[in-house]
Structure 1
Amino acid sequence: MRYSIITINYNNKEGLEHTIKSVINQTFKNYEYIIIDGGSTDGSVEIIKQYTDHINYWISEKDKGVYNAMNKGVAQAKGDYLVFMNSGDCFHSPNVLSSVTNYKEDIICGKVLKGNSTTPSGHHKSSITLVDLMRGSLPHQAMLIKRGLMVKHPYDENYKILSDWKFCIQALVFDNCTFRNSDVVVADYDINGISTNSNGLLTKEREIILKELFPQRIIEDYELLTPVDDELLDQSLLLTQTVGARRLVKGFTSLILQFTRKK
């Protein structure tokens, strides 16, 4: 088993060094390390040069965005699995890779810790369905993806935030690839990234991707799942599996929230 760890970076030298250290401290050493820098001017290149003995490939040049940089990394990768650990994010512990080496599924997904949280977040079911993906995204930093899948479905560079979500739908739904959910905490996630500061772009991209991939009748079902309040609705959806019941739960939840907000 060989991993290709890909780090993309732009003007984040402190975060980059933090990420590099978490990579080279992994106890499992059968990996290659690839860094794609977007032409940084803040000293990031000097940081990369300090660690060249641990880096198999790196480049610093202007790119067309996050997913263009990731695709550049994929093009250089030769490992069995790809791991995207962007600058500022880091492996949760030195034993992450050694903890997952016996898994063989096409996509393996662990957990992340966001910011200062001590509660792991991510997917919490052994399997994954279209409804799961319609309602949320897998934590990108915690995914290990077979390289062949990424070659088949490179990240769509037309999107700034949700191309990895589109990839998951293509791979897990349309290709029906194998999936394993793991309790291993893979990454500590930097919450200052673009996906957590999207200023409404996330919702817009989600709508465009849905229209691109699905007929309108499927999108109408998806709209029934749109949460009024994520946490409350997540709890209530555990109690039901039918679309009709979800509609009832959503309406009931809306009434509860309206009542509590007036008080």
Structure 2
Amino acid sequence: MLISIITINYNDVAGLKRTIKSVQEQTLTNYEHILIDGGSTDGSAALTEQHQDNFSYWVSEPDDGIYHAMNKGIAVARGDYLLFLNSGDHFKNKSSLSTLVGGIDEKQQVELVYGNIEVVADHTWIKKYPVHLTLDYLIKDSLPHPATLIRKACFNNQLYDTSLSIVSDWKFFLLGVGQQSFNFTHVDHTISVFYYDGLSSMQQDKIAQERQKMIARYFPEKLPLHRSYYPSAFSRKITNKKKQVLLLCNRLFKKVTNG
């Protein structure tokens, strides 16, 4: 069984170095590493050339965004399963890939094998995923690309939707589980480390808008659930104002009661 590890990079030479090192250190060696670079100008191409013997395929050229780049990686992948470990992210330890692959039952066709991730932001925490995936769960959340093996055959009928700028990976998992009844297995180990730079409120609005559009198209009965997780920008402003007023009232109350 061959695993295709696909790395997408654009002007993140420091992160790319970390990712390459992590892949090369894996104890499981039956993999190919594919690099799709968007025409970086920061030294990423030179770093790639230094390690070109470790890649089964690599290219550095302009693309139309991350999902276009991911589709390019899928097109050249030869593996039975694919894993997207994008520039900057890395495996948790040297046996991570082996641990995740151990969740594959070759007697049963499993489309998705996923583990947990360590999230690095203003603080660090372990994000665990459920044993059972449901449509309701995926209305709210998604699966972690750096810790998910996807059977290559899943992409025979659909690639990532390049008309979406930020939630195409979520759409893939949503339709896979909600419409195509993908089989799945959860491996309860921390597989990868994901570096989260944070999303601005504008991006949060974009996520909500794109998700709502997809849910309205494919699962309109789930729109109320979606809106409970992703209230409108106006509703969030009202909620924040209420919090600010409540905080001010509490401060005034304390000031009066303390004399």
Q: CA offset at residue 260 of structure 1?
A: 7.3
Q: Which residue of 2 aligns with 1:19?
A: 19
Task: Name the larger-Rg structure.
Answer: 2
The answer to whether residue 127 in structure 2 is matched with residue 121 in structure 1 is yes
Unaligned runs of 5+ in 2: 232-242, 251-259
Query: Against the structure 1 CA distance between its residues 202 and 20, is the aligned structure 2 distance closer, same or farther, given a 3 Å change threshold?
Result: same
Q: CA offset at residue 95 of structure 1?
A: 0.3
Q: Which residue of 2 aligns with 1:132?
A: 137
Which secondary structure state, in structure 2, belongs to the residue aligned with residue 110 of structure 1?
strand
Q: Which residue of 2 aligns with 1:198?
A: 203
CA distance in 1, matches of 2:5, 2:72: 13
Report Cα offsets for 1:212-250 as digits up to 9, x if no partner. 2223x3323443x4278xxxxxxxxxxxxxxxxxxxxxx
Q: Which amino acid aligns with 1:226?
A: Y
Q: Which residue of 2 aligns with 1:33?
A: 33
Query: Against the structure 1 CA distance between its residues 195 and 47, is the aligned structure 2 distance closer, same or farther, given a 3 Å change threshold?
Result: farther
TM-score, with structure 1 as normaliser: 0.81
Query: Against the structure 1 CA distance between its residues 193 and 108, is the aligned structure 2 distance closer, same or farther, given a 3 Å change threshold?
Result: farther
Which secondary structure state, in structure 1, belongs to the residue aligned with residue 203 of structure 2?
coil
Counterparts of residues 152-171 of structure 1 (less than 5 Å): 152-171=157-176
CA distance in 2, matches of 1:136, 1:48: 34
Q: List 4+ stretches of structure 1 deviating above 4 A.
A: 193-197, 257-262
Q: CA offset at residue 181 of structure 1?
A: 1.5
Number of residue-to-residue matches in the alignment: 234
CA distance in 2, matches of 1:37, 1:227: 33
Which secondary structure state, in structure 2, belongs to the residue aligned with residue 47 of structure 1?
helix
Q: Percent identity?
A: 38
Q: CA offset at residue 173 of structure 1?
A: 1.3
Unaligned runs of 5+ in 1: 229-256
Report Cα offsets for 1:173-200 as digits up to 9, x if no partner. 1110111112121111121277998353
CA distance in 1, matches of 2:207, 2:38: 23
Q: Which residue of 2 aligns with 1:146?
A: 151
Q: Which amino acid aligns with 1:188?
A: V
CA distance in 1, matches of 2:138, 2:71: 22
Contact 2:116 2:128 in 1 (8 A): yes
Report Cα offsets for 1:31-90 as digits up to 9, x if no partner. 001000001111100000010111110001100000000000000001011000000111
Q: Which residue of 1 aligns with 2:218?
A: 213
Q: Which amino acid aligns with 1:149?
A: C
Q: Which residue of 2 aligns with 1:47?
A: 47
Cα RMSD for the two superposed structures: 2.5
CA distance in 1, matches of 2:198, 2:2: 28
Q: Which amino acid aligns with 1:65?
A: G
CA distance in 2, matches of 1:100, 1:195: 32
For 1:112, which of 101, 111, 117 is the aligned residue?
117
